[in-house]
Amino acid sequence: MRRLKLQVQTTVDGYLAGPNGEMDWMTLPWSEDLNDYVKTLMAPVDHIMLGRHLAEGFIPTWAANPDGETEETVAWMNDTPKTVVSNTLTESPWENAVIAGGDLAAVVHRLKDEPGGDLIAYGGATLVSGLIGGGLVDELHLLVNPVAIGAGLPVFPPLAEYQRLRLVTAQPFDCGITALRYEPSAG
């Protein structure tokens, strides 16, 4: 069965965006050691999940060959099949992307049951909250930026019960970001 990895940029106080979706707090550019970490994270991945709002910027940005990115990374981002989770779109306006609506857990379980490598999810607050709240994530990769913003869209939604996590690795990078990798813990 495929594993679902969730990669989220976050502030030290747990927000993935400001109150109005602002993301100007992110540490950029990334240092080479963080780029290497993300390449290793992506190596076994052959499918990307995106929320609709993020897809609207993510897919066109990578299709435009953004400055400062390697050809290898741009090709991977463009060529890797994508599922865009949306209950408003019925067909994909993007190449190499399909739309999946309805029950998020059913979508994730269907993708996990398909043959192939790992899945990686990038998303905004709605997708991230749904994946975490539904207990659907096998690996949580928090890229903690060295900034606190005080208010915004939280990484973690209100939860019906505790979700215990086990810290697998904590790795600081030259640019100031620290990657925290968690997996679900049985107890």
- For residue 64, is it within any domain? yes
The residue range of the domain holding 75 is 34-115+125-155
Distance from C-alpha of 155 to C-alpha of 152, rounded to nearest angstrom: 9
Distance from C-alpha of 66 to C-alpha of 72, rounded to nearest angstrom: 12
- For residue 20, is it within any domain? no
pLDDT (tens digit per residue) in 33-89? 999 999 999 999 999 999 998 888 889 888 898 888 888 888 998 999 999 999 998
pLDDT at 122: 92
- For residue 151, is it within any domain? yes
Distance from C-alpha of 132 to C-alpha of 152, rounded to nearest angstrom: 17
pLDDT at 187: 62
CATH of the domain at 74: 3.40.430.10
pLDDT at 186: 75
For residues 119-141, give the mean pLDDT.
93
Distance from C-alpha of 98 to C-alpha of 82, rounded to nearest angstrom: 6
How many domains does the chain contain in total? 1
pLDDT at 66: 87
Distance from C-alpha of 80 to C-alpha of 77, rounded to nearest angstrom: 6
Q: Could you tell me if 107 and 100 are in contact, meaning their C-beta atoms sit under 8 angstroms apart?
A: yes
